[in-house]
């Protein structure tokens, strides 16, 4: 995809070719009087890996949480796979979506959290099979088969019968990745998935994600401070500041010749 985003002065809308999987349309998110996202427009094309960077508090997590419907926008609309996420059309009118409708659209989205959030009362296998069985209606056998394949992918086959508390942080996070993938989502949201890990465990998790990025056609929307990783997997990097995309481009361009002053400042601080 071409990364030379057409630059209006105010916002940068990354241009998107082919099928557009995620679209934010004038999305505003406020907490009280604090405006976190201000009429944000951006989109992600199907199959692309997009990394969000930007200073703390710029709204990166907020974007992922809006997509996961863990919070609602005050204004604007979000579409996933052409369907509204938080709205639905009834009699030609756009109305707030019902819980049931939202759950349907949300099935296309998977998320891995900074704190893993595995279910501590379930063994590794059950953590992975629970949703495929309950939500997708897979049989227990099918779900377990899928779980085994995914555990192999993340290199944890021998831990299938353990409880999360018996695993290291890095292993837990890899289970969490497998759990998200078991739903076969079109989009995987990753919010600083290695920042709660001890340094020596980071590489293992990033390797797994690299593998997934290079061998599957899943769309990824990723927030990370691991710039090398971002460079490896991203088709596009979006630089956020104060809830706006201020610069967008290929990793080569953003990391080596950023145009925007804020991007340069930010990168020199983190690199």
Partner 1 sequence: MNWDWSNVEDFMPHFWDGLLVTLQALAWGTLIAFSLGLLWAIAQRSDQVWIRWPVTAITEFIRNTPLLVQLFFLFTVVPEFGPTMSPLTTGIVGLGLHYSTYTAEVYRAGIEGVPVGQWEAATALSLPKRRTWTAIILPQAIRRVIPALGNYVVSMLKDSPQIAAIGALDMLGEAKGFTQATFTYEAISIVGIAFIVIAYPASVLLRVLERRLVR
Ligand X SMILES: Nc1ncnc2c1ncn2[C@@H]1O[C@H](COP(=O)(O)OP(=O)(O)OP(=O)(O)O)[C@@H](O)[C@H]1O
- Contacting positions for Mg ion (CB under 5 A): 61
Q: Is 36 in the site for ligand X (CB under 6 A)?
A: yes
Closest to partner 1 by CB, 115 or 216 = 115
Burial class (CB in 10 A: 0-12, 13-18, 19+), 223: buried
d(CA 237, CA 147): 31
Q: Is 61 in the site for ligand X (CB under 6 A)?
A: yes
Selection from 56, 180, 169, 38 nearest residue 108 by Cα: 180
Under rule CB under 8 A, how many of the chain's residues touch partner 1?
Answer: 25
Question: What is the smallest separation between the CB atom of 240 and ligand X, expressed in angstroms?
Answer: 7
The site partner of 213 among partner 1, ligand X, Mg ion, none (C-beta below 5 to 8 Å per kind) is: none
d(CA 256, CA 263): 11
Question: What is the smallest separation between the CB atom of 58 and Mg ion, expressed in angstroms?
Answer: 9
Among 8, 56, 121, 165, binds ligand X (CB under 6 A): 56
The site partner of 58 among partner 1, Mg ion, ligand X, none (C-beta below 5 to 8 Å per kind) is: ligand X
Closest to ligand X by CB, 64 or 147 = 64
Closest to partner 1 by CB, 2 or 134 = 134
How far lies 140's CA from each of 129, 151, 162, 269, in Å? 8, 16, 18, 49
∠ CA 223-225-231, rounded to 5°: 85
Closest to partner 1 by CB, 109 or 246 = 109
How far lies 61's CA from each of 219, 221, 261, in Å? 17, 11, 23
Selection from 101, 99, 52, 54 nearest residue 80 by Cα: 101
| Site residues (vs ligand X, CB under 6 A) | 31, 36, 54, 56-62
| Site residues (vs partner 1, CB under 8 A) | 68-70, 99, 103, 106-107, 109-111, 113, 115, 117-122, 130-131, 134-135, 179-180, 183
């Amino acid at each position: 995809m071409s990364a030379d985003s057409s630059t209006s002065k105010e916002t940068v809308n990354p241009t998107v070719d082919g099928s557009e999987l995620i679209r934010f349309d004038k999305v505003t998110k406020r907490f009280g009087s604090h405006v976190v996202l201000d009429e944000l427009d951006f989109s992600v094309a199907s199959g692309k890996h997009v990394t969000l960077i930007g200073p703390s508090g710029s709204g990166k997590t907020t974007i992922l949480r809006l997509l996961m419907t863990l919070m609602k926008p005050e204004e604007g609309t979000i579409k996933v796979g052409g369907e509204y996420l938080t709205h639905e059309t009834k009699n030609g009118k756009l109305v707030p979506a019902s819980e049931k409708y939202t759950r349907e659209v949300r099935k296309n989205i998977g998320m891995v959290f900074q704190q893993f959030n595995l279910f501590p009362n379930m063994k590794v296998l059950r953590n992975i099979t629970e949703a495929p069985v309950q939500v997708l209606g897979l049989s227990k056998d099918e779900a377990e088969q899928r779980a085994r394949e995914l555990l192999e992918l993340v290199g944890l086959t021998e831990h299938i019968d353990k409880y999360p508390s018996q695993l290291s942080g890095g292993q837990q996070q890899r289970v969490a990745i497998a759990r998200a993938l078991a739903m076969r989502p079109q989009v995987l949201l990753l919010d600083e998935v290695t920042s709660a890990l001890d340094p020596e465990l980071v590489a293992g998790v990033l390797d797994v994600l690299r593998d997934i990025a290079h061998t599957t056609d899943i769309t990824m929307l990723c927030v990370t401070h691991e710039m090398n990783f971002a460079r490896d997997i991203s088709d596009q990097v979006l630089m956020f500041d104060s809830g706006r995309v201020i610069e967008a481009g290929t990793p080569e361009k953003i990391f080596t010749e950023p145009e925007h002053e804020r991007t340069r400042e930010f990168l020199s601080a983190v690199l």
